[in-house]
Structure 1
């Protein structure tokens, strides 16, 4: 019957040397406490796998030596600490010294009990004890601590590990680690001291670490991780300094664990300091022969502007670019700051100084298990053999992080093969780059609609983007595919190819459409925040299954579709060249509170095909923060115009229908209508405009829940047809089938009538992705418009 000990136990948990009291008393009685005894014979008893010479060597005892009581104690300690013996007993008997030992057993098997979160295979790699090796209590204790540390690294600081032994015949034991994993040690509360400019809520939103909330079983950012503290400190520092607090610092971070070791309270002690603005700004040169005058124009820092490190970096970047153009190597641009605490201004001087002549020997990249080296390497403007520009190295690190492919990216330099050369080390940590998105919507006439999208932004580790999307709603389906190469020909050229197949069976118009085609484009930078794309589009659009125009002989009522749609039936090929200009300061703007975006595009159809037109669209948007940055404000204006050429007329497949979306209306739910058609057919328009405004704000719930609210207001219009003259009155039976067709004048409404809506939103950052729910109310509409009172969207990453 096996015997499981209640622990390592006496003699197992820690060896105890037993020196015979009677024998030592005899020694002390005959020789005195300091006397030495010569032992002519030394015996080793109880050893099986260790021979006598080895034991004596460990004990440092030689036959015939003078040994005092202190020497015997030292010998005992050495034998005990050797890890070979479970018990050690030294027995002096006259001139004979007997050493009685019992050896540690051999480990038969090592097993783990109670572990679910960490598998046996992983734990086996952690422990140092090994099967078929001598059992060591100290090693077993170290193994238990290592296992507990592994659980702590996963946020389970309450984990307990107890090593147990099971005695087996033949001086063998089974070593069992009994594990109580415990719950995740969450962060129950994150607090701040010393903050006056921003609330605790706002600062908690800055941190990567979050408090535990109702989603504690899913969210892992609420688990205490000491290594995350450094990142949070940097995030706080960047946040404050980008808003003018140049003296900000985190003075201390105090994590406090509860008595039950199941939660942490983390407190950040910060010093904000005053908020600075720029004072005097100068540019000087300390390099002989290099005038500062040409660099003054590159300065973008203005007196009175709120201090921002990004503004200084932007100016230095422009100056360095000019120095490269002028061939001025090894020139440093040193920002020298003078604080004026009395008026809270910073005087800034950009000093041109001569730097050391150091070159880049090579760039080493590690940690990229998926992403190819070339994807990372092309983020460097510096190559092997170039003069070292420390600021450019830092900018390269920022560009690598901005790719979104890596959870962490560190770029450092070290001395190369000579003092005049450096090696750039890049260490990255991969993260998921794919996303899976789902959406849902509901319309009064269209019913429930669904869409799904699959996106990969680092396809095969090449930095390429692949998007697949599918949508369906009440008989309408769509499939889209897009491929993007961000570095075409290994240059800053973004090549795009898209193709699509879409069919529509409109519920608010008795017609079907089918569109199939492709487009391609080449995009390149034209300014620090602006990019221009040149593109081509080829599509075949078909309008079919339009009900004929008739009057029912039974009821005398008009049946069928609008004559405008009947006349537009058929298939057209559109071949168009175009361009799109994008300007976006998000992520690169100097003002951390405000971001702008602008898009302007034109397509010129008529390069072959059946359509001759010019389509122009534009979008301008701004996002800003107010009320101590707790509220996000967004506004957009969008407009478009379709102008047909050479006396041609637009078709519904060319006109604007879903563009200029106003929340509260279906995508094709407002705009020109044939009011005489039984279904009041939606016709689309040649022109549109829309303005959208919204505010997102906290709801007073704990921010770790990831729930915030919003309000919005939209307005806009779609209008204009090339032929909206109505119908001619004609009651003749032209086709001889006995039915008369009546066309009534003035039944097409294509005027520029404003629609408007208001609504509320709920934003929820869930474990599977951000979710948004809109509840809308159309406050200005026509009787024939189609509402969409609510919609829902969600996306996730993998």
Structure 2
């Protein structure tokens, strides 16, 4: 027992001795004394002595220097400045400090010079000279400079005086410095230096990175020495056939004259793979290689490609679906199996991002049909020899009906009438799409009444027991808002008033969401701007609103030449010079020319769309027109004075006076008598009136909307006309979205000419001729209609009717190409002939329409469904590049 206690006591004494030894070995902090400075100024300022002392002490403390507290220094020095080295050493011994800082402040005009000395009380050698300069009124910078000089000598960790980069060739040094944490004026840290080296490596531009630290009078000079990776002098693509070099090079980031980075090269491999997957080449293999053929610092990067065969989606199937067939669910998806027209488009290509979006589409489809708990699960995709087989699991859940619909909250006088027209109805199956539309309807109803900040919140309560849902619309209208100010920005050419007249709101008006939407649509339809954005902000009060109309101008002038071919006009060339926004006033001026194998046209047109700053449009046309018909030629010059005015939302009326001096010549010797009788000069002086309505969303490739026109022309002898007739033509057409992206179009057109004086017949070229690309497409222009019984010449009719029905569908949406299947029926009838639908000539066919860079293109083939002897069984119709 005694032996154990002795051993324990020995261990304890040994531990105490080692701790004492460690404590003794620990270095004492190197205390620094900041003595009061002597002050030499033009006017006595004794307070500066203590001020300099305090500023210098504070900066040293911030830099990690251990100081003797200033109160102790002032008691020992008696607030008297130290003026020599002997006094400094004596002060250090009394305060048991290692270093003493002393010196003086001298005024130099508005500047002050700090001249100091740093004395090491325990070491030999002369005092260190300290110097700093600054404004006399603000000595902070000067004190900071001197503190940094002291820290260089006092602390083991020195202050960074400068940070630089050496070795860069293509990379800017500043791009490296922004990555490092070592900064000028901060203490040097080995840990920070190592972190900085790692950060520079992560940039990916350098092979080697090192830090070189050297001593200077002002502190440590830190230089990051780098060596850049080799540069890329060329990028090659090999083995590609289905995708062009330029498309691959545009998709990758490795470019000539850039630094070679392997991580970028590897990323480029993935980019190329993705590019091939978009084209259905899912077996494509890309192998990168890097060579240095001439210089080890200059690399040639080669991407070698094995394209393989295309793999398309073969089947898309569903599991768990009971209420809707696979075909119905596939109809709401973008992912499709390969089809008949897929070579025109990307149909059949598997895209994972599109497939993920399709799951949301299927889920939304179920929700729109009452299955409020339905969801589409993660699909399984299996690659087989014939293509990808996609299986999508579906959980349908129960189907819910609407048990009740209520509208609560802030009512307007007309709210009940609007509520009666909501799409979601009681006892119907619940539909999220109808719910969304009803929210838009109610919100717009409140906003059109001036409540710009109106909110409508739906509260949908499900009853899982009887599978019903109750819907409550909560209306909060907020304050009534008026337009306080409208500002217009971005218009460098178009005048403000041209923009303002398209805006359906004005300062002082009550806010209206419909008027704001229509204003934006109006500004887009005039086609003066690339971008149109109407932004709202609160005005001087919650009841006031400011509108900022931001536009970006686009070129409105055009100088163009081109050509094409039409089955009616043959080959032609043409050109035009036009300005749609003349002098920024919104005026239209155009000079056009059209020269073809069978026709030539020249015209000069001018339109003022807002006469006297009202929506009354006025203008004129002057033209010279030559055309070769089958049995005669027409050469005419004339002009038109016209006015028009909009009414309603999509409609406009037109009035015009037309004068034309025409000459009928080169009449065939065997031409019909009605044609021969009109050989010579004909004067037409007529009045025209028409009404048109056009709500379509595109001039060449519309997807919805309708057109309707009624035009009447009266050729009046009392105004000098050689003919006396009234012509009436009316037409109506409508585009209707069908299933998927199929679009239906139906067009009906008819006309009648009333000959008021048998001695002044309607000119032959004013009669109705059918056939061609715009009427009955299995026939050439003029082949449908009355013919002279003796000669067989087409003589046109005084009445006609035609019907065109089309089914349009996308072939290549990205380039604006459509396919069309059509049915045409129609005929023209002469005076004395009955208008009989049974005599309509019929045709059916197919075609392609493309809004090409050269202009609208149509290629259509029509088959004659009731061919008669001597007629063609079918005809091709072609039109491209027409300017007029």
TM superposition score normalised by structure 2: 0.54
Deviations 1:105-163 (A, max 9, x none): 69999967559859999999x9999xxxxxxx9x9899989999999999999999999
2:601 pairs with 1:601 = no
How far is the alpha carbon of 1:667 from its aligned partner? 1.6
1:616 deviates by: 0.5
Q: Within the alignment, does 1:574 sit opposite 2:684 as a pair?
A: yes
Are positions 1:353 and 2:477 aligned together? yes
For residue 619 of structure 1, what is the aligned residue in structure 2? 731
Alignment of 1:190-269 (within 5 A): 200=330, 203-204=333-334, 214=343
Q: Distance in 2 between matches of 1:686 and 1:656?
A: 6
Deviation at 1:618, TM superposition (A): 0.5
Partner-residue secondary structure (3-state), 2:674 = helix
Correspondence for 2:59: none
Pair 1:792 & 2:871 matched: no
1:633 and 2:744 matched? yes
Partner of 1:649 in structure 2? Answer: 761
Matched, 1:761 2:875: no
The corresponding residue for 1:544 is: 665
Q: Deviations over 1:499-544 (max 9, x none)?
A: 543323333x2x2212332334333332223322222322222212
Q: Distance in 2 between matches of 1:363 and 1:571?
A: 57
Distance in 2, Cα, partners of 1:431 & 1:249: 51
What is the rounded CA distance, in whole Å, between the counterparts of 2:769 and 2:497 in structure 1? Answer: 43
Q: 1:199 to 1:87 in 2, by over 3 A?
A: closer
CA distances 1:193-228 after superposition (whole Å, capped 9, x unpaired): 99979554665499xxx9996568xx99x99999x9
Normalized per residue, which structure has more helix? 2
* Contact residue 543 and residue 653 of structure 1 kept, 8 A: no
Shift of 1:437: 8.7
Give the match's secondary structure for 2:684.
Answer: strand
Structure number with higher relative contact order (C-alpha < 8 Å, ≥ 6 residues apart): 1
Task: Please state whether the residue corresponding to 1:653 is helix, strand or coil.
Answer: helix
Q: Would you say the 8 A contact 2:423–2:438 is kept in 1?
A: no
**1:774–1:792 contact (8 Å) kept in structure 2:** yes
Three-state SS of the structure 2 residue aligned to 1:676 is coil
Pairing 1:392-471 to 2, within 5 Å after superposition: 392-400=515-523, 410-414=533-537, 421-422=545-546, 424=548, 426=550, 440=565, 442=567
Counterpart selection for 1:716 from 817, 826, 829: 826
CA apart distance, 1:400: 4.5
Contact 1:408 1:428 in 2 (8 A): yes
Equivalent residue, structure 2, for 1:103: 225
Q: 5+ unaligned residues in a row in structure 2: which ranges? A: 1-21, 29-153, 167-176, 215-219, 238-244, 279-284
Cα separation, partners in 2 of 1:167 and 1:776, compared to 1, 3 Å: closer
Which of 667, 672, 675 aligns to 2:781? It is 667
Structure 1 residues 674, 151: CA separation in 2 closer, same or farther (over 3 Å shift)? same
Offset at residue 604 of structure 1 (A): 2.0
CA deviation map 1:255-295 (0-9, x unaligned): x9x9xxxxx999999999999999999999947xx7449x9
* C-alpha deviation, 1:761, in angstroms: 0.2
**Alignment counterpart, residue 806 of structure 2, candidates 694, 702, 725:** 694
Q: Is contact 2:213-2:223 (8 Å) kept? A: no
CA distance in 1, matches of 2:509, 2:561: 42
Distance in structure 2 (CA, Å) of the matches to 1:464 and 1:253: 57
* Distance of 2:555 and 2:396 partners within structure 1: 34
Tell me the residue number matched to 2:861.
775
Structure 1 match to 2:635: 514
Return the offset for 1:561. 2.8
Aligned residue pairs total 659
Higher mean alpha-carbon deviation, 76-85 vs 687-696, is at: 76-85
Q: CA deviation at 1:568?
A: 1.5
Aligned counterparts of 1:273 and 1:658: Cα–Cα separation in 2: 58
Shift of 1:579: 1.8
Mapped partners of 2:266, 2:612: distance in 1:
54
Matched-pair contact (CA < 8 Å) for 2:606–2:620: yes
Tell me the SS of whatever aligns to 2:803.
strand
| Partner Cα separation in structure 1 for residue 507 and residue 350 of structure 2 | 42
SS of the equivalent of 1:673 reads coil
Q: Deviations over 1:323-374 (max 9, x none)?
A: 5xxxxx55777667676988999979796835254645444545x7998776
Q: Is the Cα contact below 8 Å between 1:582 and 1:599 reproduced in 2?
A: yes
Hey, what's the Cα distance between the residues in 1 that align with 2:667 and 2:627?
12
| Alpha-carbon offset, residue 789 of structure 1 | 1.6
Give the drift of 1:469. 7.4
266 and 141 in structure 1: CA distance in 2 versus 1, 3 angstrom threshold: farther
In the alignment, the residues of structure 2 paired with residue 426 and residue 505 of structure 1 have an alpha-carbon distance, to the nearest angstrom, of 50
Q: What CA distance in whole angstroms lies between the structure 1 residues aligned with 2:685 and 2:851?
A: 43
Tell me the distance in 1 between the aligned counterparts of 2:267 and 2:834: 75
Task: Note closer, same or farther for the CA distance 1:427–1:223 as it changes in structure 2 (3 Å cut).
Answer: farther
CA distance in 1, matches of 2:369, 2:378: 23
Q: What's the CA shift for 1:654?
A: 2.5
Root-mean-square deviation (Å): 7.1
Distance, in Å, in 2 between the alignment partners of 1:796 and 1:175 is 53
Deviation at 1:103, TM superposition (A): 3.0
SS in structure 2 opposite 1:672? coil
